[in-house]
Amino acid sequence: MDIKEKKILIFGGKNGLLGQCLVVYFQKQGASVQAVSSLDVNYAEASDIAKYLAENKSDIVVNAVAYTAVDLAEKEEEKAYFLNVTVAENIAKACIVQGSFLIHYSTDFVFSGEKDTLYTEEDEAKACSVYGKTKLLGEQKVLSVFSLKEQTDTKQAAHLKTRADDEMQAEAKLTAALLTDVQLTDSQLIEPLSLVCNGAKNQKGYLLLRISWVFGLHKSNFLEKIMAFAKERDELKIVADQFGSPSFTEDIAKLTHILLEKDATGLYHMSNSGKTNWYEFAKYAIERAGISCSVKAIKTEEYPTPAKRPVNSALSINKLEKKIASSVRPWQEAVDEYVQRLLTRK
């Protein structure tokens, strides 16, 4: 899909870390971009979102809305559920009705972290926090809306099927699963949406992109906070036994664009290449910024948090790299650019 002169509507584009970056990037590529926030449309009502899309017809709709406060989500379950599940479903339904291509971003925290190697798109998703569970439920809402009629490229898709259960009963099961520590299974997460799909103008499809450890220039994030702390303190203690794959928003935007050009659809993992831990990630950025601060590695048990984090949520991007026929640059190179641009900006 050539995005030049295409109309792209980005939910979360006015104030989100990723959303703002996507707005700037796609505008530079010649697309007509419209940033949207909750001040423009009532996220709680699917009909309001559908009306908004009808009035602002778009070729591509991006959902960059998310509740990302991992620890706070343990206390604000309803708010996390609303932003990560309800909004995701409402936007997906509106895309079906209006015939817009949907890009939905999810997270590595849909995984439990029990696997030692990189997580692929075929691995079972089993979240261990309210944040992760709500993002997983959001994924499943999107998948159920689009019915996965032609998405057979992953084992997960092969196991998903539409059931004829009552929609309200399915919703109750989802909510119950979220608020307990029950493992989420495919059969519990799928609900019928035939009423939404019937009469749809044109199901153009979707991209569901799992990203991880996101950092960027348009809003405060882990690296920016850590570097600020490093300037104020002589020593920082950072967890070194949680592993993941950093993702630079600039690279997320570029890779999303390439996938669109390749007419990709379905589920992809997306991050910079390489696996690291929070300690190495922070230490590298601090050193690149030329900040004098001792960085000490500690264990998770030395820094308890309300939400359980996956020990390892590093993503395999083999499927992505195969699709775009290119290698994704390492996270270190992305951090180099981030630090340089951040310091220049300031």
- pLDDT, residue 130, reads 97
- pLDDT, residue 179, reads 45
- pLDDT, residue 44, reads 85
- pLDDT, residue 204, reads 75
The domains of the chain are located at: 7-211
| Residues of the chain where predicted confidence (pLDDT) is lower than 50 | 148-168, 179-200, 202
- pLDDT, residue 173, reads 54
- The sign of the CA dihedral 94, 95, 97, 98 is positive
Please give the CATH topology (third level) of the domain spanning 7-211.
Rossmann fold (3.40.50)
Question: Taking the model in full, what pTM does it have?
Answer: 0.85
DSSP codes of every residue in 107-121: EGGGS-S--SSPBPT
Cα–Cα distance measured from residue 116 to residue 313, given in angstroms and rounded to the nearest whole number: 9
Longest dimension (CA), the chain: 63
Cα–Cα distance measured from residue 257 to residue 263, given in angstroms and rounded to the nearest whole number: 10
User: 3-state class of 250 per DSSP?
Assistant: helix
Ordered alpha helix ranges (H), 29-104: 46-55, 77-81, 87-98
CB 310 within 8 A of CB 239: no
- pLDDT, residue 46, reads 83
- pLDDT, residue 306, reads 96
Tell me the sheet residues that pair with 209: 105, 268
- pLDDT, residue 45, reads 85
